[in-house]
Structure 1
Amino acid sequence: MKTLQITEANARKLYKDATPEFKTTLEDTFGKEFFSDKITDRVKTYEDACRVLGEAPLNELACFISGLTQDEIFYRKLKTITKALNEGWTPDWSDGDQKKWFPYFNTSSGFAFLVTYYSYSNPDAGGGSRLCFKTEALARYAGKQFVQIWDDLLRK
């Protein structure tokens, strides 16, 4: 018996035209959500976002040694997550009609996702302009799914 090694990228390519039996084998190996076309099914963790982008996760110890602060590491993680969820979309800050969505949080009693908000080219859009999303649904998802990283960024 031989062992077949396959990259995640090749598994995705093969899956599209695979027989039902081979699809089942691939799903058993990689998980059914791995083959979903929906980005929110594929990005549930920071590590998932790295995988989608083909990037290695941050080595936090190396980051600390190089002088990055904790909040800078959390910001980089959220930038990676945002980039993965937006699937290539980047905000056009010169387009005053383009909506850019942000999650907002309530910190009065703990830390919780509160609401999403969009901004056009509004000069008071708040911090984290690189952490905006192309849709309200993605901003809502990012605010809820990654609430701990947002909390770490904003409060630590």
Structure 2
Amino acid sequence: MKNYQNLKTFEEACKVEGLDPEKVIPDFSCYPEKDRASMIAHSKLVIIVRAANRLANDGKEWIPDFTNSDEWKYEPWFDLEEGSSGFRCDGYADWAAGSDVGSRLCFISREVCKYIANQFIETYKEYFL
């Protein structure tokens, strides 16, 4: 796979990252049942975001530099208001941070952010709700 826009499933993201989708998700059974779906979704999103950023970066891993305030980083913004869908991708934030601890869920570009947020909106729903 050469293009992030061809990334359609978690299993494809695992393939890009050289991971086995059957073995990569930790066992969250020791946590309360109400929290497990969110934890599984977060685990999946970490891999999906990493794969999308790699594909958008000519096959090289992209690691956001949180010491560089000139490097833009993007994260999706979701509207959780009641409405026809109740959960929709509403915008894309760009930002720079001067922090030594950063997000694993940020993107290399606005376009990649927008595509992944929409393609994997159900996974984001599980993560946030």
Larger radius of gyration: 1
**Higher RCO structure, 1 or 2 (CA under 8 Å, sep 6+):** 2
Aligned counterparts, 1:69-148, within 5 A = 69-87=36-54, 88-109=61-82, 110-121=86-97, 129-148=103-122
Identity of aligned residues (%): 29
Find the aligned partners of 2:113 and 2:27 in 1 and give their Cα distance: 27
More helix by share: 1
> Are the equivalent residues in 2 in contact too, given 1:60–1:73 (CA < 8 A)?
no
Can you give the 5+ residue segments of structure 2 that lack an aligned partner in the other structure? 55-60
When residues 46 and 39 of structure 1 are mapped into structure 2, their CA distance, relative to the original with a 3 A threshold, is same
Q: Which of these residues, 48, 51, 74, is aligned with residue 15 of structure 2?
A: 51
Q: Residues of 2 paired with 1:38 and 1:83: CA distance?
A: 13
What is the letter of the counterpart of residue 80 of structure 1? I
Counting matched residue pairs gives 115
Normalised TM-score (structure 2):
0.79
Structure 1 unaligned segments of length 5 or more: list them: 1-33
